[in-house]
Structure 1
Amino acid sequence: MCTTKELLALGYPVYVLADGVSSCNKEEIPIALRGLQHAGATITTSESLMFEITADAGSKEFKAVAGLIKQSKDMTREAMSTLCKI
């Protein structure tokens, strides 16, 4: 298994899902994300990545993803507020 920085050094594009990052010390999360971004990683969210992967807003896949995101918006908001507090 490779770390983000190892993958970047090998030339791979790396996407880090901010809403999937945790730490015993919540204050460390934004510092770590800034460091990874500075190293070349793209910091994004699971929602943004899902829309980017499905790309075409007219496709059935995009509409299915949009429906899932709408259904889970309250859980996502709660998770983001818990994981991404500074």
Structure 2
Amino acid sequence: MASPLIIAAFTGALASFGPQGMGDGQIVRVAGDCSAAASQVVAQTGGELLSAVPQGDACVITVLIPGNGSERPRKVTMRVPM
């Protein structure tokens, strides 16, 4: 088991690697979360989620929609704004 002194030293070292210069009013854009968009598309189509990828300010959602009877399933890709 690691000693508390080692843990404290390690934690202090990690704290020095935080974001630099973030207090100067800059806005940082991060990749959005596509989970809500993916849930929406799956609910609309009744399909199975294959992928959800953020791309710019939208999410590219790919679902597999089951076929009717003996039809093959269809792969559908939709672009949903974030």
Same structural fold, with TM-score higher than 0.5 when normalized by the shorter chain: no
Larger radius of gyration: 2
Relative contact order, higher structure (CA 8 A, sep 6+): 1
Q: Which structure has more helix as a fraction of its residues?
A: 1
Q: Which structure has more strand as a fraction of its residues?
A: 2
Q: Tell me which interval the TM-score lies in, with the shorter structure as reference length.
A: under 0.3
